Amino acid sequence: MDDSRGWEAVGRLELGGAGFCTGALIAPDLVLTAAHCLFDAKTQQRVDFGKIEFLAGLRNGRAEAYRRVRRVVIHPSYRYDGKATSDKVRNDLALLQLLRPVQNTSVTPFDTGGQVLKGETVGVVSYATDRAAAPSLQDECGVMYRSKGVLVLSCDVNFGSSGAPVFHIQNGHVRIVSVVSAKAQLDGQQVALGAQLDGAVELLRNQLTSGVGVTQDFMPRIKGVASVSGRSVGGAKFVKP
């Protein structure tokens, strides 16, 4: 089955030579992704936003739309210091406003919001270093744990998967409920960590005009956390308990 079809609003986010991440359209001119994707792991400085490009539905060298970025809004409580710690995951969200909206009839932005519970099934659509040419769908992973704005997922993610949308399908309605932030180990099992959206998308939309932020509570221990932006494995940051 060609699982890259039907997800054209998911795209690869080219970071101006600093690697790539995954993002998803939630409006014709808004891309939701992970905040840490917008920082250079070596310099810890923000990536030059003028060089970022969103490739909607990129598949084998061809995208449904190519768009540069007008403005970037990062969650006001997110702080980047090169370490992908679990307490940062819950705020690891950003919105990119595109220079021009994507008005291709084959690209339909996704709805966001809604809660998922422990044990529920979710799906992830992402690009990664081992599958960079086309989006890959994993539709059989689940919510293992949730606490204070973070979801622990049994999904398979790799470098490049950062910012990938986590979907919940209910009664045929597809919604983004989380964004992939990092990979980690939990009781010896490889897991993905995702930021719960809750009210964050509305907050980020408001940030486009007001710049007001909020502070959330901390998340308890998870070992061996690593960012999963599309940079070399050697550049990944790990944290110890």
Q: Has residue 55 been placed in a domain? A: yes
Q: Has residue 154 been placed in a domain? A: yes
Q: Has residue 14 been placed in a domain? A: yes
Q: Has residue 167 been placed in a domain? A: yes
- Please count the structural domains in the chain: 1
Do 229 and 36 touch, CB atoms closer than 8 A? yes
- Structural domain of residue 38, as residue ranges? 10-231
| Token output for 107 | 């690209």
**Which range, of 30-39, 133-142, 173-182, averages the lowest pLDDT?**
133-142
pLDDT tens-place string over residues 178-201: 999 988 888 888 899 999 998 899
pLDDT tens-place string over residues 106-160: 899 999 988 899 999 999 998 876 677 778 888 789 999 988 889 999 988 877 7
- Per-residue pLDDT band for 216 (boundaries 50, 70, 90) equals very low
DSSP conformation letters of 102-144: ---TT--PPEE-----TT-EEEEEEEETTEEEEEEEEEEEEEE
DSSP conformation letters of 14-60: EETTS-EEEEEEEETTEEEE-GGGGB-TTT-SBP-GGGEEEEET-BT
pLDDT of residue 48 exceeding 50? yes
Q: Has residue 239 been placed in a domain? A: no
Q: Which amino acid is at 67?
A: R
Can you give the CATH number for the domain in which 77 is found? 2.40.10.10
